[in-house]
Amino acid sequence: MPHRSIFMKTAGTVALAASALLSATAYAHPRAIVRLERLDRATTPLVTPPKAQPTKTSAATPTGPRVPNELGRIPIVEWHQVVAADGTYKVSRERFRAELRELHARGYVPVNLSEMLDKTMDIPTGKTPVLFTFDDASPSQFRYIERNGTLVVDPTSAVGMLLDFIKGHPDWKPKGLFCVLPAAEAGHAFFGDKGIDGQKTAWRFKKVQFLASQGFELCNHTLWHAKLSKYSDAVVQEQLARGAMAIDSAVPGYTVRGFALPYGLWPKNRALAFNGSWYDKKSKRSVRYRHEAVFEVSGGPARSPYDPAFNPKSLPRVPLQGGTKLSTTLDQMDKPGKWARYVSDGNPKTVAKP
């Protein structure tokens, strides 16, 4: 049996200040003025998830027993639009289903960002954590349809397909990170509004609440996908503070711990990606934000949080779109080398190193 060393895991928690309330304010976009209207805060709605459907068996070939290595790499996969066909920032619905099947067949288990930051991942023996990230809050990620007066998750949206897959694979739980835009154009305002793709404005907050109630987590992605590298410090802070405010307005008291850089572009003052404040003239209060983790747009699989070189302030990701293949990264992670995958020893109290 290969020799391996074991040392104790430690967990850390960080308390974050709650965001302020969202005002009914007009937001300036380079090409248009987009208005994000205030919705009354409400309890999490009862929305019917999609019914489970039979899942095809993956063509991926399971590997044999793996040597535990909890200092190995963790893929943070990145999806944008899930539509009819592959393209730039797009994957087809069939491809999305196939990627879920492949990850499951190859021994990957979803985790949340909070579990990585707090070092509380509890992964079965021989399995590897994977963090799902969904950028831009498009209707293709999460749609509602009305059936006999009841809101139902569209089974052809990414959320519908993911929940359906989880129902058929109970070793997976509803985990993942949605990096949302509260006031973007073309329906990218909390997963759709103004009738775009059949989505009503009144459903926006219901969707965000539903995700949080299911166990998914929420991430800041600015107010309307601003290219932060071109803006002043004041605009950068307004974008990030208002993004956090919108999430707090939908899910009162929610702690936003992560931020995904639009286009992978950093602000001129990189420190503002992590901490900052903005004064809301309407409410006459200063709104602060704090991000423990910042996501790049690419870069490959991330280091384990137990690796001394783990840097949550610059987390690389694996973007999936037309022209890329998930299997390319997973194949590389199955080989020895700097991208060798994290493999759990099944004991959440220890860290195993081969």
- Burial (CB count within 10 angstroms: exposed 0-12, middle 13-18, buried 19+), residue 99: buried
CATH number at residue 34: 3.20.20.370
214 in a structural domain = yes
Checking phi first, is residue 282 left (phi over 0); if not, alpha (psi -120 to 50) or beta? Answer: alpha
CA distance 71 to 344: 9
**What pLDDT is attached to residue 12?**
41
Q: Could you give the 3-state DSSP secondary structure of residue 215? A: coil
Structure confidence at residue 8 (pLDDT):
57
* Domain ranges, residue 12: 5-38+49-353
Which letter, b or e, does each residue of 203-233 get, where b requires 16 or more Cβ atoms within 10 Å of its Cβ?
bbbbbbbbbbebebbbbbbbbbbbebeebee
- pLDDT of the residue at 158: 99
Instruction: Enumerate the β-bridge partners of residue 110.
Output: 130
Is residue 314 assigned to a domain?
yes
In this predicted structure, what is the pLDDT of residue 133? 99
What is the rounded CA–CA span in Å between residue 35 and residue 162? 31
User: What would you measure as the largest C-alpha separation in the chain, in angstroms?
Assistant: 66
CA distance 302 to 110: 14
Classify residue 86: in a domain, yes or no. Answer: yes
Domain count within the chain: 1
Residue 203, pLDDT score: 96
- Is residue 301 in some structural domain? yes
Is the CB of residue 113 less than 8 Å from the CB of residue 257?
A: yes
| Sequence-ordered list of residues with C-beta below 8 angstroms from that of 292, at least 6 positions apart, any chain | 14, 16, 117, 257, 258, 274, 312
pLDDT tens, residue order, the chain (354 aa): 443 445 556 544 333 333 333 333 333 333 332 333 333 333 334 344 555 444 333 334 445 689 999 999 999 999 999 999 999 999 999 999 999 999 999 999 999 999 999 999 999 999 999 999 999 999 999 999 999 999 999 999 999 999 999 999 999 999 999 999 999 987 889 999 889 999 999 999 999 999 999 999 999 999 999 999 999 999 999 999 999 999 999 999 999 999 999 999 999 999 999 999 999 998 899 999 999 999 999 999 999 999 999 999 999 999 999 999 999 999 999 999 999 999 999 999 999 998
Token pair for 255: 């702690």
Residue 44 lies in a domain: no
Do the domain assignments include residue 228? yes
In a domain, 43, yes or no: no
Q: Which pLDDT belongs to residue 64?
A: 63
In a domain, 25, yes or no: yes
Q: What is the pTM of this model?
A: 0.84
Q: How far is CA 54 from CA 97, 110, 169, in A?
A: 12, 20, 10
Tell me if residue 267 falls in helix, strand or coil: coil
